[in-house]
A and B are shown apart, each in its own frame.
Chain A
């Protein structure tokens, strides 16, 4: 597959300038695809219910988009290293349970547990690299571990978010709704770290061409540990943000996030192999999913049964659009 790609790019360099122009346009279109799909969903919402396009409307519709965006970023780090995390959803649930119990009652222990769980993520990265394990199976196993721990921490739905977290998530900035500011911040910070720093390039390179990177003297063990630790960190942030919004927790609260996060990364222009990911795209993908899954369907009077299908359909439509554009790239 990769060989085909390099062959294609070789061909591209020998093409005439007119063809190169068309190629650049196709690339641009492809890069804009995530933003275009978000714009389309927003337009549809505006057309169906103009009143939703307001400060209050956005605060309400995008409320749950913050934890989804954070979980998507977590998944993106794992995908950047050519792995897949099927445990991020139950991990978010576990973090939520700790946030609603320990973090409120005994903040110091709560912080230690959360730091420890990031450490577990880093160890998983090391284990997957050292033993050359399939990340799908390891993280599927871990999803049971996190769910079990979540039930042990909080056997019955309940608990309460710490007051400072509630106050933070209820923050109402002037003019622009909080979720939009938060999404922008998350996207820009991660974009800078992963796309604009030299170690960010190494991290993406560890997914793009691990052999070359290893021969150049970089430690692949370290890159994998860093990528998984970052995934753990953003998983923790996601769980905390989620509990800051819902105010109480439940061991199953994050279960849907595993698949949503993968879908968000792919929607945002991420590729499944080769370290090709886009942090801003991932955030946009998460917003698109958050908007399309529930507000859009409600305004279209489609029963909530079809919420999950809407996610699948959007994923398929965007991927189909990508194929059409890529054909032109050839």
Chain B
């Protein structure tokens, strides 16, 4: 028990415990049937939340008021761009991914441009931007070749011994993000800005550049996420990113990152993403209707936030 103590003090442990208990509740209900398959499915779906969650985490860590509301629109547009560039052709997969990445990064950079030039809160800037991106997507995505190349769809759904390859790659990516956050100048600068922007500026942190990089990073991750989603679900559509507004913010907060900024937690994003995906699986397994599922999802998120609570508000 004594050995467990330092583990329990970690803020991310709770999200994993939550995910574990939801998983146990579900397999208790099914009598153990499909326990492994459930983990595989949860891993495959959690990947998409983790990728945008990491981007959102860096943004939220910048401090109160920083949040990227343009992610859903960004994911939608990038998925369309990726599918159009790939055009069902296996040879164009890498080019398509790069195009999605570039689209997302451009959106992120545009977000910061609005924040900087108009001196408006990031919420309003990313909101205005998302209006415009949404329209571009609707207009651009019309009558589009929306099927991914077979090679790309296979890659996005590829599993080795029941473990999705995409999940392994995402774990590697999150390890990289954790190192960037804790051990690199960039990450330490983000944390410093979130703790006290004025002090960070006086200490010589190039605040403008770091914020620009962070919004661009969040945008780029949204872009790559859009392309991967289109591959996994074998097609792009305008609404493909809709659920990632709540999901990206929720995994950051449930995962133990401070909404007041200045304190981030990378493993928690994984735990929270698994928790959310498994929660949906559980409610589906219990056979509840769509209305009850939405109701319970909402109540559980509010409940978890209330239990975790106690920090200063996001804005």
Contacts and interface: CB of A to CB of B under 8 A. Distances in A.
Interface of A: 82-84, 127-128, 131-138, 140-152, 155, 259, 262-263, 266, 272-273, 303, 305-313, 315-316, 319-320, 322-323
Interface stretch (B21-29, B87-95, B246-254): B246-254
Interface stretch (B1-9, B184-192, B228-236, B301-309): B301-309
A82 to B, nearest CB: 7
B136 interface: yes
A115 B256 CA distance: 35
Contacts of B136: 309
Interface string B252-268: 01000001000000000
Interface in B120-146: 120-121, 123-124, 127-132, 134-136, 138-139, 142
B297 interface: yes
Contact of A263 (B127, B253, B290, B296): B127
A105 B164 CA distance: 52
Contacts of B311: 132, 134
A136 B67 contact: yes
Given A140-B246, A141-B302, A152-B291, A135 B313 contact: yes
Interface of B: 65, 67, 114, 117-121, 123-124, 127-132, 134-136, 138-139, 142, 245-246, 249-250, 253, 259, 289-299, 301-302, 305-306, 309-315
B135 A140 contact: no
B299 A133 contact: no
Nearest to A309: B135
A262 B124 contact: yes
A313 B249 contact: no
Among A82, A83, A132, A322, residue most surrounded by chain B Cβ atoms (within 10 Å): A132
B127 A262 contact: yes
23 contacts: A131-B306, A132-B310, A133-B309, A136-B313, A140-B250, A141-B301, A148-B290, A148-B292, A148-B295, A148-B296, A150-B291, A151-B290, A151-B291, A155-B289, A272-B124, A273-B65, A273-B315, A305-B142, A313-B131, A315-B124, A319-B124, A319-B128, A322-B118
Given A136-B313, A151-B289, A309-B131, 7 more contacts: A132-B309, A132-B312, A136-B249, A137-B314, A141-B301, A306-B139, A323-B118
Nearest to B246: A140
A308 B289 contact: no
B146 to A, nearest CB: 17
A149 B312 contact: no
A144 B295 contact: yes
A145 B295 CA distance: 4
Contacts of B130: 259, 312
User: Chain B at the A interface: mostly helix, strand, loop or mixed?
Assistant: helix
A315 B132 CA distance: 10
B315 to A, nearest CB: 6
Contacts of B313: 82-83, 128, 132-136
Nearest to B121: A272
A41 B293 CA distance: 43
Nearest to B120: A319
Given A132-B312, A312-B129, A323-B119, A141 B135 contact: no
A142 B298 contact: yes
A323 B138 CA distance: 30
A118 B168 CA distance: 46
A144 B246 contact: yes
Contacts of A262: 123-124, 127
Contacts of A142: 298, 302
Given A134-B314, A148-B293, A319-B118, A307 B298 contact: no
B135 A134 contact: no
Contacts of A132: 309-313
A148 B134 CA distance: 25
Given A134-B253, A137-B249, A312-B135, A127 B306 contact: yes
A141 B298 contact: yes
